[in-house]
A and B are shown apart, each in its own frame.
Chain A
Amino acid sequence: MHSFGYRLNGLLTFSVTILAIMCAITSLSDNLNTPSPSAEIQVMNINWFQKQPQGNDEVSLTMNISADLQTLFTWNTKQLFIFVAAEYKTPKNSLNQVSLWDAIIPSKEHAKFWIHTSNKYRFVDQGNNLRGKEFNLTLHWHVMPKTGKMFADKIVLTGYSFPEEYR
């Protein structure tokens, strides 16, 4: 009962159990945080808006994105993955979500920012339904912890619309 093997086994089991409990408590501590993020997105310019040869609409736009996401960071946060998605409805599709831009925020200091950018990913519809259509721009964030449960939430900004004609 007191051989080296038994002692090593007992030590390893105990330490793994304690590590697991510590990870669980760390993750639970994230629930104590009440975040209050804010964001604003302005569409500065529609660069071009065309129908592709395959028949799908494509648009390129430039946006000003500003946000303050500092309250989302806790001691257990490794990074924040944020992205801006355009959401709209078409006759065939009840929901379309197209991610336009994303970024990784590695620390609290970087969480308050302002950026002027065109869409990083191509904004292509399934079909040619975009003329004159209204859409929402949503800023999503995913909190990636150092260990444990991942959280995600979003801010929906409404009131954007495509031009009536291609340009």
Chain B
Amino acid sequence: MGWIGDAVDSIKSIQIRQLLTQAVSLGMIVTSALIIWKALVCITGSESPVVVVLSGSMEPGFKRGDILFLHMSKDPIRSGEIVVFNVDGREIPIVHRVIKVHEREDSGEVDVLTKGDNNNGDDRLLYAQGQQWLHRHHIMGRAVGFLPYVGWVTIIMTEKPIIKYILIGALGLLVITSKD
């Protein structure tokens, strides 16, 4: 009778150990993804080092679904640069090109006007009420590189959240049912 008790105990302990190991490896995966993301934030100096293009206002150069790599440096903002900025009170950042720059002699502050390549008019309609120019603190980064099509994954997951849940559910199932 003793060995039945031993067998039951050993089975229980294996299961708990296995569960804990799996939980730890899942935690490791999530944490290393977070570490990579935060490292990118530090290296590029920008709060969001990678953005997905959501609208067609920069076509044919950037289409919906492309991803842009951003970098922010202390270099002055000059016309022609593609910048990502947040309008006060709006969450979604906008990626457009700088077309006018007026830099103050005394303070070094700068007035910037932007426009999407594919838009007819400049961005004054998008700025906050009464705002004519963007300033340095609105700008989150400059686009320095780009990868086509990769951003569709994010767009699909944002616009059809059911797919996000299905994916996470499937991943969770895979983790639980895997034998190692």
Contacts and interface: CB of A to CB of B under 8 A. Distances in A.
Interface stretch (A63-71, A109-117, A142-150, A155-163): A142-150
A147 B117 CA distance: 19
Contacts of A79: 60-61
A106 B60 contact: yes
A148 B101 contact: no
Interface residues of B, number: 28
B56 to A, nearest CB: 14
B75 interface: no
A78 B100 CA distance: 25
Contacts, number: 82
B103 A85 contact: no
A92 interface: yes
B104 A94 contact: yes
Interface in B120-168: 122, 143-148
B99 interface: yes
Contacts of B78: 97
A51 interface: no
A83 to B, nearest CB: 6
Contacts of B82: 142, 150
Contact of B145 (A91, A95, A149): A149
B144 A97 contact: no
Q: How large is the interface on A (under 10, 10 to 19, 20 to 34, 35 or more residues)?
A: 20 to 34
B173 to A, nearest CB: 10
Contacts of A147: 146-148
Given A85-B80, A106-B60, A144-B61, A150 B100 contact: no
A154 B79 CA distance: 11
Interface of B: 60-62, 76, 78-82, 97, 99-105, 108, 111, 117, 122, 143-148, 174
Interface of A: 5, 23, 27, 78-79, 81, 83, 85, 91-99, 102, 104, 106, 121, 126, 140, 142, 144-150, 152, 154
23 contacts: A79-B60, A81-B80, A81-B97, A81-B117, A83-B79, A83-B99, A85-B80, A92-B104, A93-B103, A93-B104, A95-B103, A96-B102, A96-B103, A97-B79, A106-B60, A140-B80, A144-B61, A144-B146, A148-B145, A149-B145, A150-B144, A150-B145, A152-B81
